[in-house]
Structure 1
């Protein structure tokens, strides 16, 4: 295999694929990235961890077609440190690959292309397109609520399903819930309910930064594939049943609090400075024209701050985990957030307004 291409092109593509590769691998081939030079003048780069796979093609000057695999992170570090604007020559033969750019020359150990595993997709009967901006919004407004508790593996991803003629995406860790509702794309009828794993969500979000138009989504009950321009991301889905999250979305919370999310978040952030790491609890005393935020810590003392607000019901005291509350407020884009309260023990609903695509539910804490 012999191919030459610009450093910037190689670095960008390598950046996309190498982040899938785990730092520690018991199977040596999984530490490598596949490089395949085609006679059509393309260089294919591919990496996998057996659950997730990124496959990308870039243009290259190919003088000899062929394929090999090299250690992904080492190769990425080399290309990253090569001189800007340089042409990188890759030539592989007899168990080695030579990398030449300017006066720099590297010889890397390779493993055979035939040993490299590829995720078999099988049939992907459901196919539709989503604007990249919509998919970015769905991920940004839900992924903070994904659980990291491995005993509840079915919560370790974003749940996508079609309901009420809309496409809905939800994530929860049992303490908070985030849900986004968007128009159902053409072709999504009959789509199975799927849970996209957290690692796939993270890699997809990185790739979406460079996609302007639409993303092609193809899926079955077991796999999903995202077509993102020159890159294709394929992932296994979480094999589990996502709980019926609609049961925790409160419908009878009749106490409405309206507040500026930025000043609310900043106030919570300030008083939480002295909160204990374990509980991160902040108390809210809600009154007609203000919220009094307070944190009492046996080790650090007391912090109090008042935030202007609009509220028309009985006085109420309620406690929340400061980090969870701030995560939600960070995703509110407008200059007002509606906080729908019931009492100190009931789930609280937060949203921008009744027209917004995103809604959030937060469980209170005892303080």
Structure 2
């Protein structure tokens, strides 16, 4: 195998592919990237056995073939090469090493046989549809903060995608929850997605897909079955296992009778929460909202640090209410609000609070209160 490729093109492709590779691997081949020289193309592939990514870029190959090289080391070498340089990759005839040349630099990396590289079998993916990259980006950006990190409840460690009906409209829904807060975002249902099963896309896959969307302005091809999902955009394909579990009936925790409506100027409110929470204890991060007509008073106390209060003018016409929240969770939600106003729909100090974006009805957030 022998090829020449422009450094920027190789670096961009390696950046995508190597991020799938885990830093520590008990199986040596999983630390490597599969490099395949084809006529006029270079294909790169990496996998962690749950998630696999392949990307192809233009290259001038004088000798076709394939090898594998340590992913992170190769990426670091290419990253440190001068801008604009031409990189030559040449695999030894016995496949035991890869030589990288650029200008006066020369590196030799130890390789493993490409035959050892695991092939990720996709099986049959019966459901296929196209989703605008902006829609997929919106779902991921506005729900992933609520993905659970608790490994015992593994079925919450991802975003739940499914087709649903909202009013009279068919939508594709993304939902994430960790038991303390819930995020639900809807986009128009793509053609062909009406019959998809509800699937839970793992956290790591969500992160890798999101990175690729930064460079995709068009649409993403999505194919899925009950156990696998494939995302394709341009010359990049990502295949992942799905979480094998049942997502809870999240509709049950979305309150419907919350009648106390509080409208807050979002940026001003978030800044006040951030300031007042400086005092709250590191563990609970508790902050209290004392809501009265036209004003909300935010307060936090800590036995070690002292206390803090701040008032902001709001729109509220109901009976006075005191309610406590985790300040970090409040900030996570207000960060997702695109409009200038956030709407809190509350019932009492012990019931879940509904948060809506004043400018966008497609997103909904639920936040559990805490005792303060």
Both proteins in one fold, TM over 0.5:
yes
**Number of paired residues?**
366
Structure 1, gaps ≥5 residues long: none
How far the C-alpha of 1:355 sits from its partner, in A, is 5.3
Structure 1 SS opposite 2:216: coil
Shift of 1:189: 2.0
**Residues 68 and 113 of structure 2 are in contact (CA less than 8 Å); yes or no, is this contact kept in structure 1?**
yes
Distance 1:209 1:118 in 2: 27
Q: CA deviation at 1:323?
A: 0.2
* Cross-structure match for 1:159: 160
Aligned to 2:218: 213
Report the CA distance between 1:353 and its aligned residue: 3.6
CA distance in 1, matches of 2:234, 2:294: 50
CA–CA separation in structure 1 for the residues paired with 2:332 and 2:313: 20
Q: Render the CA deviation track for 1:160-191: whole Å, top value 9, x for unaligned.
A: 01111211110000000000011110001210
- Taking the TM superposition and a 5 Å limit, the aligned residue runs for 1:52-201 are 52-93=51-92, 94=94, 95-164=96-165, 165-201=170-206
Q: 1:320 maps to what in 2? A: 325
Give unpaired runs (5+ residues) of structure 2: none
Note the alpha carbon deviations across 1:246-282, whole angstroms, 9 max, x for none: 0000000000000111111100000001111110000
Q: C-alpha separation between the residues in 2 aligned to 1:354 and 1:273? A: 29
1:290 to 295, 298, 301: 295
Name the SS of the counterpart of 1:264 in structure 2.
helix
Cα separation, 1, equivalents of 2:150 and 2:221? 31
- Residue equivalent to 1:19: 19
Inter-partner Cα distance in structure 2 for 1:274 and 1:295: 6
User: 1:86: how far off?
Assistant: 0.1
Consecutive aligned runs of 4 or more in structure 1 exceeding 2 Å deviation: none
CA RMSD of aligned residues (A): 0.8
Distance across 1 between alignment mates of 2:338 and 2:187: 17
Q: Is the 8 A contact 2:325 2:368 kept in 1?
A: yes
Counterparts of 2:18 and 2:147, CA distance in 1: 24
Q: Distance in 1 between matches of 2:176 and 2:303?
A: 34
Distance in 2 (alpha carbons) for counterparts of 1:190 and 1:138: 19
Query: Is 1:47 matched up with 2:46?
Result: yes
1:354–1:75 CA distance, 2 compared to 1 (3 A): closer
Between the aligned partners of 1:271 and 1:25, the Cα distance in structure 2 is 43
- TM-score, length-scaled by structure 1: 0.99
Q: Which residue of 2 aligns with 1:311?
A: 316
For 2:357, the equivalent position in structure 1 comes to 352
CA distance 1:346–1:37, change in 2 (3 Å): same
Partner of 1:271: 276
Secondary structure in 2 matching 1:357: strand
Distance change (3 Å), C-alpha of 1:354 and 1:262? closer
Retained in 1: the 8 A contact 2:339–2:360? Answer: no
